[in-house]
Amino acid sequence: MPAYERIVILTGAGLSAESGLSTFRDKDGIWNKYRLEDVATPEAFARDPEGVLEFYNARRKSNAGVKANAAHEALARLEKDHPAEVLTVTQNIDPLHEMAGTRRLIHMHGEILKALCAHCGAKEPWQDDLTTDLVCQVCNRAGGMRPDVVWFGEMPYRMEEIYEALAACDLFISIGTSGTVYPAAGFVMEARSAGAHTVELNLEPSEGASLFAEAIHGPATEVVPAYVDKLLSA
């Protein structure tokens, strides 16, 4: 195994599944219970702000007391103990990477424990329910407080930094994501054009499985620590 110098990791809901958080597209997934058009678009928020806030209030509550699992911990160990520069890009809005100790982290789809004012763009940590009568502490306007979560049709966060890292990486590892939502689903192609080795660690082959040079299938809490141990012992 070569001595990698710049590693980019992409994670999705499958990484947090064994911590007890639902994924989106598995049979008992979130999009089999809700229509994303009703709860995860700016149009839905404009049409039914209470319904959208209620959906995220329930997801924030489901995050309470949830713990990072062995896969999150292995990724934090990789960042700490491997000589390479490691960047973790997550599609997840849960705080489990931070809880496990990962530091260089980009939440490209935002964070459930942050609120954003739709009027002025101010952001702040937020643990409680969001309601439409809340007044923004910065612009003093009500009705705009929403979860700091990127909705369908909105631009994910820090894309420039992510593409720069992909263009320079020599190892790209995709973990627990179905490879169905862009731009994240296209990151493997960016990494391949950079000449990186590409690996998929997932419960089962994702939509983009054929694009990866290497694929190891199984539960994240098994395949991720095993792969990290291999990288650390190389």
The yes or no reply on residue 206 touching ligand APR (CB under 6 A) is yes
Tokens 């263009």 correspond to 167
Tokens of 227: 């792969």
The yes or no reply on residue 180 touching ligand APR (CB under 6 A) is yes
Alpha helical stretches, state H, 12-109: 14-17, 36-39, 42-47, 49-63, 70-81, 96-100
Q: Kindly name the residue from 72, 97, 109, 197 that is annotated as catalytic.
A: 109
Closest CA to 175 of 69, 104, 80: 69
Which C-beta is closer to ligand APR: that of 26 or that of 48?
26
Residue 51 backbone phi and psi in degrees, to 5 = -60, -40
Residue in 202, 211, 212, 228 binding ligand APR, rule: CB under 6 A: 202
The yes or no reply on residue 171 touching ligand APR (CB under 6 A) is no
Here's the x/- map for ligand APR, 101-140, by CB under 6 A: it reads as --------x-------------------------------
Closest CA to 90 of 192, 176, 195: 176
Cα of first residue to Cα of last residue in the chain, in angstroms, is: 6
Catalytic site includes residue 109: yes
Residue in 19, 23, 102, 174 binding ligand APR, rule: CB under 6 A: 23
Query: Catalytic residue positions?
Result: 109
Binding site for ligand APR (CB under 6 A): 12-14, 17-18, 23-26, 29, 91, 109, 176-178, 180-181, 202-204, 206, 219-220
